Structure 1
């Protein structure tokens, strides 16, 4: 049984984008204790909605009434000309009855996706090309140096970077907002993002 993206219909954001944030994969398979996100980065152990809005001078949306409200977050992003997407749309050779596959897909180890051979990437290049005249920056929400060299995630991100380079669009990796990475506090991560993201003038 393939594992498609939990928000597969939202991977190609609409509207005129100024910023595009790129993650890796949010599986449709349910996590233990139903610890699933209602939308991108919506799990309680991810500080994306604390960090990202404040980079743009807005209030944190980390409160549960914001973070779990899919429609509110979608509308907020549209108003701010912000798009969210992930590198992977579907893992076709994933088997929900295979415990190893479950462990990989529900883990936070993106490098383990190389165990699969039938991965369908998201067409992020089309989104970038459609917004080439308005995009100020495209950002991967994890450090690039932590990716397996020549691995599936690294290669997909390289394709995105090359597209941005050819269009002269700023493109950079960011420290992950996940609390699994505890070396930096959420405030230090906010500083990192603020110093890295180029705000449109």
Structure 2
């Protein structure tokens, strides 16, 4: 068995964030070139999210430009999975249905919320939960915590794989609610 930790586990969100983009996992492995959240090649969050705010695409921008954008709009990032314990030889298998059963540590969302009392909205970057019952269970817990604390919660279409007008319009519609 091999333990895989979150690549950005030491990242600290600003205390004053009002929006949280909540994802699943970003592995700290040698084959992961991401330099920041949603930084892998087939992820289009940095095209979609800025456009929601009428801002230019940031997919190929520096981390400092991305941080400038998120600071301006009081956006933070976190993932529900903090650590995995995977079978040897499967260190690069991040299929959701595989990792759903390999989680060692989930986000402590109550603590996160306590540390970010200004949080108003949480957007999870996934709408479907087929074959990931443990992930769904965690999201249900987070939804409940949000509800109890007056924080809005919504699921976004995944920013992975592609970007198009339909997906962008869905993002805009969800953010505007």
Q: Give the TM-score normalised by the residue count of structure 2.
A: 0.88
- 150, 157, 164: which is aligned to 1:168? 150
3-state SS in 1 of match to 2:159 = coil
Q: Which runs of structure 2 are paired with 1:1-201 in the superposition (5 Å)? A: 1-10=2-11, 12-31=12-31, 36-62=33-59, 64=60, 66=61, 69-91=62-84, 93-95=85-87, 98-99=88-89, 101-105=90-94, 109-116=95-102, 119-132=104-117, 134-143=118-127, 145-148=128-131, 151-179=133-161, 185-198=163-176
The offset of 1:85, in angstroms, is 0.7
Distance in 1 separating the partners of 2:56 and 2:101: 40
Q: Which runs of 4+ in 1 moved over 6 A?
A: none
Distance in 2 separating the partners of 1:111 and 1:127: 26
Q: 1:136–1:198: 8 Å Cα contact kept in structure 2?
A: no
Distance in 2 separating the partners of 1:167 and 1:115: 29
Q: For residues 80-99 of structure 1, what are the alpha-carbon distances to aligned partners after superposition, in whole Å with 9 as ceiling and x for unaligned?
A: 200011001111x335xx22
Q: 1:111–1:153: 8 Å Cα contact kept in structure 2?
A: no
Task: Give structure 1 stretches of 5+ with no counterpart.
Answer: none
Q: For residues 90-132 of structure 1, what are the alpha-carbon distances to aligned partners after superposition, in whole Å with 9 as ceiling and x for unaligned?
A: 11x335xx22x22423xxx32221332x511122322223334
Distance in 2 separating the partners of 1:103 and 1:17: 32
- Count the aligned residue pairs: 176
Higher strand share: 2
Root-mean-square deviation (Å): 2.0
Q: 1:110–1:147: 8 Å Cα contact kept in structure 2?
A: no
